[in-house]
Chains A and B, each alone.
Chain A
Amino acid sequence: MKNLTRFLVGLLVVAGLSACSNFLDPSTKQNKETDKSIQDVSDLQSLILGAYDRMNDTNYYGRDFVVYGAVRTDNAFSNAFSGRFIDPSEYTMNYNSGYALGTWDKIYEVIANANLVIKSDVPNSPKVEYVKGQAYAIRALAHMDLLRLFGQTYVSGDDRGVPYITTYAEGNTTPSRGTVAETWQKIGQDLKKADEMMSPSLDAGSGGGIDPTTITTVAVNALRARYFLNVGEYDKAEREAEEVIQSGKVGLASASNYVSTWGSDGSSNTIFELAFTGSDDNELSYIYLDTNYGDIELTPELYNLYGANDVRNELMFVDSDSSSYRTSKYPDPNGTSNVQVIRYAEVILIYAEALARTNEPAAALTQLNKIPNHRNASTYSSATIDNILLERRKELAMEGFRFYDLARNNRDIVRSVSGHNINIPYGSSELAFPIPKSELDVNPNLSQNKGYGGS
């Protein structure tokens, strides 16, 4: 019996000792600890891929952000088929809007990836510089999208921008909003940084082209052109557009090829596009096509805009089941069509607009007519701002540009579709999304946008 007791005591002691061992350390088989896991340039590249992956989200370029640019305008409306996009379409958003929250969240998540790269202490090399440059460009693009959506950018009598985040998990975690101008300025600084840090020799791509599924130096130039156009520095916009053109790495698709560039990934007329594969869902096709949700219809006005021979007509069609106007720019019903963020045609139109605004009408017209010339469409006789905006509307339709083109040109937004009429004068508070209530609840340094009441 004595032996047994000894055995028992021994057993308990052994069991007790296991308290000191690693019995209670959990295994981590899917994740790695953040502070120990960013070691080299490939880790940084993976984080950049993570940023693209997050940009692919339904709340951002995977659907919502692109739809906002169309459904809030005279180009499209929500038919409420599955109950989606009614509020943005009818300008009835409130601070509880899931759209405002979802997109706000996702864009700041993209920024977190960028900041982890920018703040990392991986030893410097040209490759590291290049990847960090990409991070700066992503951070700039993300803030530009936030600013145009949530900033009081197009609202009269207010100049609040959006919080500009440059750190990850340190410092002030309840940031305040700078002014619109300050936000633009920081976007410009980040883009400049990207331009300085990235060497064209490291651009991904083959056969003299670029791989448009990542941010390249060409994409940075194009983003800078877009940025300068928005802040009214037109000569700089021209210079960036010229750099894109001179790079020779991208071009305009011909009329016969144009339609097929939609649905074929990585065509040479895109400068930056987000890649969607079988593991992603490009829900733009779900929402644009009538085979799935099908909530977004084109307005008859947009549908009827194209001339008879215009190849772009083929991308706009009448759905036979529902007699509604649809676009097939994102044709794969499984949601694997890539989403073009910057196309060469946009850069040409930026160039044309900048030239027009700097009193170079002839050069502007040359650039402007490049587009209809490549689409079997009728050309223009003069490069007025109206004509340029019209061509932008036709060329970039349903890609998320229309709203910003109207707003940055101080135009009212008028849609005449039975049951879906809107008339939003320039300067209206509805031109900005509400700051999500969940954000205001936790961040005392932020205040709600005009017109959305308290929270």
Chain B
Amino acid sequence: MLKKLLCTLLFIGLFVPSAMAQSGTVKGKVIDSRNGETIPGANVLLVELERGAATGPNGSFTIEDVPSGTYTLRVTFVGYAAYEQQVEIGAGETLNKNIKLKPSKIGLEEVVVTGYGEVDESEFTGSVSQVSTNDIEGIPVSSISQSLQGKSTGLQISSVSGTPGSVQDVNIRGISSINASNNPLYVIDGVPVKSGEVQASGATSSLGLMASLNSSNISNISVLKGAAATAQYGARGSNGVIVITTKDGSAGETNYSFSMQRGTSQRAVDGPEPLSASQWDELYREARVNAGLAPSMSAAQSPWDGQTNTNWGDVATDDNAVTEEYNISASGGSENSTYYASINYMQQEGLNKTTGLKRVNARLNYSYDFAENITLSNKLSGSYVNQNGMLEGAAYFGNPAMAKYFMLPIDKVYNKDGSYNIDGLSNQVYHPLYILENNINRKRTDRVVNNTTLEIDVSENLIFTSKLGLDYVTNEEKYYDNPNHGDAAVENGSISDYYTRNFNWVWQNKLDYSLSVSANHQLDFKLLQEAQQNKYYTIQAAGENLATTGLPNLASTGKPTYAYSYSDDWSTLGFMGSVKYGYQDKAFIDGTYRYEGNSRFAPGNRWGSFWSVGSTYILSKESFFQDMDWLSFLKVRGSYGVTGNASIGLNEYQSFLSYGGSYNGQAAVSPAQLGNERLTWEKATSMEGALEFGFFNRINGGITYFYKKSTDLLYDVPLSRTTGHNERRSNVGSLYNRGLEGNLSIDVIQSDDYQWNVGGNITLVENKITELPEYANGENIIITGSYKHTAVEGYSIGTWHMPKWAGVDSQTGKPLWYVNGKDGATTSDYSKAKAAYQGASAMPTTYGSINSRLSVKGFYAEASLYYSFGNKVYDIWADYMTSDGQYVGFFNQYQSQYKNRWQEPGDKADNPQIIWGGNNQSNSLSSRYLYDGDYLRLQTLRFGYNVPSSFLSNLNVGVKSASIYFVGRNLWTYAYDEDLQYDPEVNDSGYLDFYAAPLETYTVGIKANF
């Protein structure tokens, strides 16, 4: 009876509601097709109903009360290809869908974050590369820009120093300016921020502001290239824009995430070997004999004790440099508020003892809906970065990277009593370990970035947004030089303290208006006003004559020597308007205009106009392509426009007297700058055309041609020094960068349990200077340097220009150079060897990466190979280390000098005869020290395992997902030029200099959500 009743009730329960409301439910889970991780915050929509839901922390969603019928279910999330499927929902039915979203490098329906808004990628007329959180999270690098290397076409990133936290060189689509900055604009959560570094000393390791960011907080990085993409930033868009977006919370229960990783580092590239003591001894004697200073090898006494054999490169090396990082985050929200909060701690030790970086970063992103149409959101991030660095980047006597080659192997590291041998060294270079342990070389950066956004939906299609961004950075630098040994031994120790503050604020007011003229015609308008101001201040003091050792503050200096403060500021004001027209979701045209003023130019030349037009056409949406099943996507796009660059020093339009000098305790005045009232914007006219395609839903790719012509270059025109000035900034000359960018991603295997993707990208860039200013006599004003020509018409920026090495005369052992600098006749007289173009510049012409990822059930393995070709690099200190006798007695030498030297007639050798005093000038500037810079590097190797969620739920400990992984960084490097033993990755200067070696890092990590 009871049973019957229940059955009846059940029967009623099933049929009565449907008979009344005819509705059903769609629910399910959204997961990453690659690693099976759930995706919170994805947008699930029943298109026809315009009803949807966001997925909760564990990726699940529910849409209730769905009238029965057939709908298009559409799921979108940043960084993934959109998912669309027809679903049929019967009355009273609950449809359970598990949806796998495919991560997409060139997503089919991806959203592009431009900083001023979001645009569907298919509608975007410009060039953008998006890097998702998967690409950068867990990579053991201290600075996010390092992890971007190879991830985007057109983006070239090079690290100079291996010291954790140091600044990277970042160029987008080549070098577009000779003298103004080539750094892109960085935008975080819609607000342009300070980039580069905030530090007063140039002699020590650099500490970049990118090191203050925590990669785990980042949901997306967009690299904007070309006119249409960067036009909204118009005035500052010439060098490209890097837009960083941090994570937001989403409504639902709180999701906690924890990750940690730990590992060790060693040298990625060892660099040339110095001589051992016995080799040095042999060279020493041979040099003396060859110079006629000793009758025989045995008679030539060298100062070697016959036992000591020190490799000074090893003395200060930390063989167990630890890297570790911990992240905890929580995100969630309610109906009208969401939050994301995180704490991060990172520590990376450098390869030179005592060097390294520590970072603490915390973030709170909070959003609150005041009313149905008003949202207030705030993104706050605070960070503390401590870098212990060293003197590097030049032959400072206290540079540990230089000690390896300059210090003699015959010198002992320790005295008999175990103390450091600081008094018995053969030359002036300082004991590297003593210096590292007894000096302080420290930078501490505190940074707070806060963005407050008020968004008001004035009407259904008019949105007003006001945003205030604050970026506050302070940097403390402390340099303590001990009184016993090193740079300050004479002064009995010295201390320098620098404090620098940079405050940057941006205020944006924006109106977005969208208008559907008809079903086929859509118009979007945007109006923006933006003001920005940057204020910089530094105060510095130094003293010497220390009362004791180990007290790091100026209070313990006996004699103050230096007091200084300085401040400057700059400001910009911009107005921007844009309009976008869309036809049937398949063809789009947009236009942008920006009018901007900049305090770097004189009134009258302050304002510039920048604009772009772009269009795109999604051919695959046309009916005539619908039949071609193999073609999943096809789009053409193109853009044309003018952007600007004003990244020069401040106040350069003004002629100045400097009051910074002093003479005999009195303030001294000197003319410091010859200004130029006519100075104005450098402009870049860009055009691009691109094709994006997808075949069989497996092969996605794109190819882009770009041409960017920079005119009115902000150029330091050299002056006759008789004016008392070296140069004056002027707008002269032009150059272009043109090239091709290509990317391809192939899903070779695509099944539920097995996935294998192979992909890669390539960028080809050609740089050429087309016009330079002229002197009165009609000759071009070129900028030459001793090693290379910075700017010569018809050549790339920074072409190597020097005499060409022709080897060693096998009969005489003398050096040879080509007379004309190219080929043919040779000479052993350096003064007769002409300097000539050596066939390459310091900048790579081809770069990119090859990637592969294999996943089998929960296991995955991925590798990323970075490559860079087409440049040459120059070893600027080789003249000391292959001195052919000139410095043998004073400094150590490269081992190559020993192994391949001329000794008797007939010897075929790379290095001339070693003669004490070495006056044959063989080590003078020539292509002898110029190497091909081409290289390949196994940049990232990752293995991991995602614990199945079924297993985790059975455990019932609240863990929703967990993964464990291994990451190797810079595991293998191949330099094409076998003579190039240094790390081939150098910055745009092309100079191999004494920097800390790059890190090869191995880490293991775990990540869990609960």
A residues sitting closer than 8 Å to B (CB atoms) are 1, 4-5, 8, 11-12, 15-16, 18-19, 23-35, 37-38, 43, 46-47, 49-54, 56, 80-83, 90, 92, 94, 96, 101, 104-105, 108-109, 111-113, 115-116, 163, 165, 168-169, 173-175, 213, 275, 277-279, 291-294, 333-334, 419, 436-439, 441-444, 446, 453
Contact = CB atoms under 8 A, between A and B. Distances in A.
Nearest to B563: A279
B597 A24 contact: yes
Contact of B599 (A25, A32, A169, A453): A25
A101 B562 CA distance: 29
Interface string B571-585: 111010000000000
A12 B570 CA distance: 22
A437 B783 CA distance: 11
B659 A26 contact: no
A351 B561 CA distance: 42
Interface string B886-920: 11001000000000000000000000000011010
B666 A104 contact: no
B721 A104 contact: yes
Interface in B647-686: 650-651, 654-674
A291 B490 CA distance: 7
Given A15-B529, A30-B658, A112-B724, A8 B559 contact: no
Contact of B782 (A38, A165, A441): A441
A277 B663 CA distance: 8
B776 A174 contact: yes
Contacts of B650: 26
A442 B657 contact: no
Interface in B211-231: none
21 contacts: A5-B458, A8-B458, A18-B573, A23-B531, A23-B573, A24-B606, A25-B603, A26-B570, A27-B569, A29-B566, A32-B657, A32-B659, A46-B668, A49-B667, A53-B662, A108-B721, A108-B724, A291-B490, A438-B721, A441-B782, A444-B779
Given A24-B606, A50-B663, A294-B428, 15 more contacts: A4-B458, A12-B509, A24-B572, A30-B566, A46-B669, A52-B664, A53-B661, A213-B664, A277-B662, A278-B561, A333-B490, A419-B291, A436-B721, A442-B720, A442-B775
B307 interface: no
B721 A4 contact: no
B456 A4 contact: yes
Contacts of A18: 531, 573
Interface residues of B, number: 85
Nearest to B667: A46
A56 B666 CA distance: 14
A124 B561 CA distance: 38
B458 A1 contact: yes
A43 B458 CA distance: 60
A37 B721 CA distance: 23
Contacts of B784: 437-438, 441
Nearest to B786: A96
Contacts of B723: 108, 112, 165, 168-169, 173
Interface string B526-545: 01010101000000000010
A23 B570 CA distance: 9
Contacts of A26: 568-571, 599-600, 650-651
Given A12-B509, A15-B529, A31 B719 contact: no
Given A15-B509, A291-B490, A175 B668 contact: no
B781 interface: yes
B651 A28 contact: yes
Interface string B496-522: 000000000001010100000000000
Interface string B911-934: 000001101010000000000000
B663 A105 contact: no
B294 to A, nearest CB: 13
Given A33-B655, A163-B722, A169 B663 contact: no
Given A19-B573, A50-B669, A35 B655 contact: yes
The 7 closest A-B pairs by CB, nearest first: A112-B724, A50-B670, A275-B664, A31-B656, A49-B668, A46-B669, A444-B777
B303 to A, nearest CB: 13
A316 B223 CA distance: 66
Contacts of A291: 490
A47 to B, nearest CB: 5
Contacts of B428: 81-82, 293-294
A353 B919 CA distance: 40
A4 B916 CA distance: 85
A442 B719 contact: yes
B721 A56 contact: no
A101 B718 CA distance: 13
A354 B569 CA distance: 60
B831 A30 contact: no
A80 B662 contact: no
A152 to B, nearest CB: 17
Contacts of A43: 669
A90 B918 CA distance: 13
B982 interface: no
A113 B658 contact: no
B953 interface: no
B559 A278 contact: yes
Given A33-B655, A108-B723, A279-B562, A113 B670 contact: yes
Contacts of B718: 438, 441-442
A231 B291 CA distance: 44
A50 B775 contact: no
A34 B656 contact: yes
